[in-house]
Structure 1
Amino acid sequence: MSSATASIQKLADRLLASKWHNGVTLCLYDCETGKETHVGAGALSTRSPYFAPALSILVTSAILLQLREEGKIDLDHPFQRYMSFPGQVAELHVKDGIDRTDRITLRHLMSHRSGFGDFFLFKNLARTVHHDFANGVDSAWGFDEVLQRTRSHGAVAAPGVGRRARYADSNFHLLGRVIETVEGKSYADVVRDRVIDRLGLYSTYVYCDPSDHRPLDLMSRSRQIHVPRTMASLQADGGIVTTAREAVTFLRGFFEGYLFDKRILPHLYTWRPIFYPVVFGTGLTQVQPPWWMTIPHRLGYKPKFLLKPVPRMIGNVGIGGSFAYYAPDVRAYVSGTVNQLSDPARAVALAVHAFDTLRYEIRPEQFGVLAQSLPGQSFDMPPSKPACPDRMAASDRTVEFR
């Protein structure tokens, strides 16, 4: 084991030593060398399946971008246009006595600017659902119940209004139904055909069967909880199961042009604050905590890490402590999970530590001079050649983001 791998492994082992973790895993891919660093602790290795809500948002976004590229959808059209029964979502967004449902576009949903109140994640709006989930209450819900809960919690803002994004699980639930309607098949089948098979993934899938015991049960503080019906209900906004290795493969597919024309990526970076220090774009997030915010998590690191600036990380972190990030200034990917519901900051801290190790231990002589060593390359879009021969190279296509 290299000293750099040992440094990351030490942090994973430290997490596992607490009662809050039954497994920790991480895969780090260095674009400069093509080398991967694999770390696992407890019940998880980089080949172990885990619940990856962090990846679900990116998978759903990738599919929508493919459909847009094929002319099957327009992101600025109302989402109702792509529903089999538009009346099913009537009066879904009512504020001040005005129904604005028909003004909500696919882009609003992807960027969490629909104005829906969240029924699941945030305690101030979710009230009991997230609380029950964290306490191991296993409940299931279908699409109709999602609509019912969304209506009952009410709208909090007009669509597209304000400078902030407002997270709501309803947004990606609706996008999942749009995908199913346009493609005429289940969300799980679309993910298999458009993502899993294209990238050659073997352990990644949409969790649909509560009798499936392959993913490791989540931890909620010091308690291991078994909530398969809840996880099977998440689907497009949190239902992906994967491994740390395959999550990195997906990230490369997302950012390097294997799934859609990567020249569209800068148009997704319309960052709006959602909760500090996270900002949300169109279908993905960016986080760059200030150095002082990382000090509690960097205590015990090597002293040279302690006051270093944090690289900006683009991707997502999800409930359950899964994370999937590309660091454009470092030119590296990291994915994995701390498998903990109650403290997502631990997941971000582990990702930051991996990038710190890469910058200051694996290739310190290169960091800070990448721009000179790779002239003409965009760090938001790593250079690559599309893997699928039936897909035209990005340079051969004209991209119009609309």
Structure 2
Amino acid sequence: MLKTMNQSFLNGVVSTAVSKKNIYGAVLCVEKGDNSLPLVSSAGNLTADKPYFIASVTKLYVTAVLLKLKSENRLHLQNKISKYLSNDVLHELHLLKGIDYSKEITIKHLMSNTSGIPDYFSSDVIAALTAGKDQSWGFEKTITSAKQKKPKFPPGKRAQYSDTNYQLLGKIIETITEKDIHTVFKEFIFDELKLEETYLFDDVNDTRPAPFFFKDREIHLPKYMSSIGPEGGIVSTAKESMIFLKAFINGHFFPKEYFNELKKWKILFGPGLFFYGVGIASQPISLKEVKGGLIGHWGQTGAFSFYHPKTDLYFTGTINQFYGHSVAAKMMIKIIKMYK
């Protein structure tokens, strides 16, 4: 280790991030596996304890629930989704060249983004939301939109990021548990880990989460954020995200040997360049570590939760900017370099 990691160094890393264009706030929590480094720093318009939208980092929480259900023999990842979803939902959900593959899709296909089901979160939807046109995207609207788009490959043949997959996984969880996704998250994760500032956003009048930015504009999307539950609706803090991340990585919810099945990486070129396994992502941090970088998940709001196995470092936090991921990655890389 070239330097001593301390609060002053971390403060400098976070302050530098906020000096970048269109980055108005940042928070970063860092811990080592042996609990020797519990540090958190914030700058700009964010504080260390401010709740924020973790967006697609929510998918890690969905993965935790699914693998816990698997450990209890309440599901198998190879189960067909037709076991849990109605014919109305499945009908022509994946229609390619006149063949309806919908009933061939498995839970694992959804988790690994290899289902081939189109992503409702298209460029048109993104453009409307980032322009401030708030709108609700519940399950029915998501499925209707996905059916209007053309799949690019049969299930299992390739990987393409699709938020539609996780809306479907949320519905499958509700079917298995006979509880709504809010209750499942609360009982399986939030209460289990005694998280007091973490919850599923469902009230359009809730002003607790920090608003995030798109370039130089503050974005308020309460209708949208309250409608996307299992796809990206969780609100948390950097400290409580850290509690979850360490529990997730260290086998609190499911046997650690399950990780061998999760690390079946397939490259994705959007959003951004990274690898996707089964319910988890891998972000390369250098050409030498193409498949040995950060393990966890990004959120479109600039949120992140990652573990770096080689240095045994954990990172959680947010840049709170729709396109702020490169700045967040640089913060983590600066710290990782100290331990290499």
Question: What is the TM-score when the length of structure 1 is the normalising length?
Answer: 0.79
1:74 is aligned, of 73, 76, 94, to 76
2:242 is aligned, of 242, 248, 259, to 248
Contact 2:282 2:291 in 1 (8 A): no
Aligned to 1:199: 193
Aligned to 1:382: none
Is structure 2 residue 336 aligned with structure 1 residue 340? no
Contact 2:285 2:333 in 1 (8 A): no
Segments of structure 1 that go 5 or more residues without pairing to the other structure are: 121-125, 293-307, 360-366, 368-402
How far apart are residue 182 of structure 1 and its match?
Answer: 1.0
How far apart are residue 137 of structure 1 and its match?
Answer: 1.4
Contact 1:54 1:324 in 2 (8 A): no
> Secondary structure of 2:117's match?
coil
Aligned to 1:386: none
CA change 1:311–1:112 in 2 (3 A) is closer
- Give CA-to-partner distance per residue, 1:283-317, whole Å, 9 cap, x none: 0011113269xxxxxxxxxxxxxxx9996110011
Contact 1:277 1:289 in 2 (8 A): no
Contact 2:57 2:232 in 1 (8 A): yes
- Give CA-to-partner distance per residue, 1:132-152, whole Å, 9 cap, x none: 112221111221111110001
CA change 1:62–1:161 in 2 (3 A) is same
Q: Distance in 2 between matches of 1:45 and 1:309?
A: 33
Aligned to 2:152: 156
Aligned to 1:90: 91
- Give CA-to-partner distance per residue, 1:234-257, whole Å, 9 cap, x none: 211111111001111101110111
Identity of aligned residues (%): 30
- Give CA-to-partner distance per residue, 1:185-208, whole Å, 9 cap, x none: 111110000011111111111111
Q: Distance in 2 between matches of 1:97 and 1:321?
A: 39
Aligned to 2:172: 178
Aligned to 1:38: 40
Count matched residues: 335
Counterpart of 2:142, as a letter, is: V
> Secondary structure of 1:199's match?
coil
The structure number with the bigger radius of gyration is 1
Aligned to 2:17: 15
1:259 is aligned, of 253, 257, 260, to 253
Is structure 2 residue 330 aligned with structure 1 residue 349? yes
1:93-172 equivalences under 5 Å are 93-120=94-121, 126-162=122-158, 165-172=159-166
Counterpart of 2:90, as a letter, is: V
1:56 is aligned, of 55, 58, 61, to 58
Counterpart of 2:161, as a letter, is: Y
> Secondary structure of 1:10's match?
helix
Q: Distance in 1 between matches of 2:168 and 2:15?
A: 39
2:202 is aligned, of 199, 204, 208, to 208
Query: Per chain length, whose mean CA-contact separation is higher, i.e. which structure has more relative contact order (CA < 8 Å, sep 6+)?
Result: 2
- Give CA-to-partner distance per residue, 1:348-399, whole Å, 9 cap, x none: 2222223234x1xxxxxxx5xxxxxxxxxxxxxxxxxxxxxxxxxxxxxxxx
